[in-house]
Structure 1
Amino acid sequence: MSLKVFLQKILKISFDALEEKEQQIFLDIACFFKGYELVEVEDILSAHFGVSVKYHIRVIVDKCLIKIDPFPQILKLHDLVEDMGKEIVRQESPQDAGERSRLWLHQDIIQVLEENKGSRKTQIIILNFPYYEKGVVDWDGKALEKMENLKTLIIRNAVFCESPKHLPNSLRVLEWWEYPS
């Protein structure tokens, strides 16, 4: 067993001690929001969960899984903790990204959208290509139909050949730069 795997097993003890909502918030932060301002994350996750998430974030901080820089309030977490959170999500469906609750890797997102492999398990998609690389998504616009529980969709720096034919009723946060209408 490698040192990294051993350390992640130790860190997972703190994760397992969290309540379910706190686990979900932690996974969102680990997969998407490292380096984001706390107020922006609180806004997005409050819309996602329907409640104020400040208390739950404080619990996660108290368990030493995340850290908040004092000024400006930026969310930080160690790379090993981030990797642990992403691996927990990846293990939901190791072979099929469309069956995962969270999608953050642009290769996975493009495959899911272009091949219509989304599912009702998908809750958050954040497609954020680097500024120097404009991503192209060649889809038919129907992939979001299967994502009945999609709550957050953020797309930055990507070009879509078609506009979506359907947006789920569950959607609470939508940020789409260069929306293809």
Structure 2
Amino acid sequence: MSFDELSIAEKKILLYIACFFKGRDRRYVTRILDSCGFKAGNGITKLIEKSFLTITKGRVHMHDLIQEMSRCIARKDYPNTMAWVTQEIKETLKTSSRLEAVEAIVETNHDQSSGRPMPYCSAKVFMGMKKLRLLEVNNYFTSSEPAAFPEELRWLCWSDYPYQSLIITRGMTNLVGLELPYSDILQVQMEKEVILTSLKSINLNRSYMITSFPDISGVPNLERLNLSCCMQLREVHQSVLNHEKIIHLDLTGCMSLRSLPSPIKMKNLSRHSFLIIVKISKDYQKSPWRQGG
């Protein structure tokens, strides 16, 4: 099969996987690509049938030659749309005309050396990225805490986020996934009366400094919340335990969390997450939800 014979959606899915996601978990990749509007479940299946992709132990793979071909096509036919190599990311961020075309930035070869890395750019750079839908970066990507992100942003993954807060604004209404694992964040702030109907996943795994998790009444469709190994977490807002859409809640390793507010009314919580709550909350055995079976 030729690349040219693929549908537009199949081409984009193939290019995103080749540039960013080869070897990653299929379910995770599907969630991210779905958030970008690609209907990835069906698209990945078709690419497997056409021998562009394979699945091994739940992970998405492709032949090295297909990956290299796809990356060449991305650079030639979709210039500045996707950036994944450190030097190319830096060059893209230097030019305002290039910023206007950027749809996705994913650091695939970030520097793991010790010491504080040099930032790529000013936090104001996001003002020029009107089309940015996917951002997956690490550590000091910007020289200061971002005050705002592009309105089109669908998935934000910022590992080792080095700043103490992140403000969720009205301009982030398209955001589907928010991931800040291993961050230095003390609190997640939400603008008053902001409603995020698109947000379905929040991951603050191993954010050791955070002490409380806020009111999420304005996130009505949240399905997954990962607060595992947040060692200083002492308080979880009642709105989390009253949320009707959450199916996965991970509180394992939250050593400072001694109890959970009751009653717990999470009717869609999966059995796996139910066991996590039993382990973490000493007061759970006395809760009305437990007594009700």
**TMscore range, shorter length:** 0.7 to 0.9
Task: Provide the C-alpha distance between the structure 2 equivalents of 1:60 and 1:132, rounded to a whole number of angstroms.
Answer: 37
Instruction: Tell me how far apart the structure 1 counterparts of residues 46 and 151 of structure 2 sit (CA, whole Å).
Output: 31
Task: Note the C-alpha offset of 1:158.
Answer: 4.5
Find the residue that maps to 2:36 and give its secondary structure: helix
Q: Is the 8 A contact 1:114 1:140 kept in 2?
A: no
- Residue number in structure 1 paired with 2:118: 136
Question: Is the 1:45–1:53 contact (alpha carbons within 8 Å) kept by the matching residues of 2?
Answer: yes
Q: Is the 8 A contact 2:83 2:106 kept in 1?
A: yes
Within the alignment, does 1:101 sit opposite 2:86 as a pair?
A: no
Q: TM-score, normalised by structure 1?
A: 0.79
Where in structure 2 are there 5+ consecutive unaligned residues? Answer: 164-293
When you count helix as a share of all residues, which structure comes out higher? 1
The DSSP-based 3-state class of the residue aligned with 1:160 is: coil
Structure 1 unaligned spans of 5+: 1-12, 94-98
User: In the alignment, is the contact (CA less than 8 A) between 1:37 and 1:75 conserved in 2?
Assistant: yes
Find the partner of 2:131 among 125, 131, 149.
149
- Give the deviation of 1:27 after TM superposition: 0.5
Q: Deviations over 1:75-99 (max 9, x none)?
A: 1111110011110111137xxxxx5
Count of residue pairs the alignment pairs up: 161
Structure 2 counterpart of 1:90, from 48, 56, 75: 75
SS in 2 for 1:111: helix
Offset at residue 131 of structure 1 (A): 3.2
Q: How does 1:42-121 map to 2 (within 5 A)?
A: 42-49=30-37, 52-69=39-56, 71=57, 73-92=58-77, 99-114=79-94, 116=96, 118-121=98-101
Which stretch of the first structure deviates more once superposed, 115-124 or 73-82? Answer: 115-124
Q: CA deviation at 1:117?
A: 5.6
Greater RCO, 1 or 2 (C-alpha within 8 Å, sep 6+): 1
- Specify whether residues 117 and 164 from structure 1 end up closer, same or farther in structure 2 by C-alpha distance, changes over 3 A only: farther
- Match of 1:58, as an amino acid? T
1: CA distance, partners of 2:123 / 2:98: 12
Q: Which residue pairs with 2:231 in the alignment? A: none
Shift of the alpha carbon at 1:163? Answer: 2.5
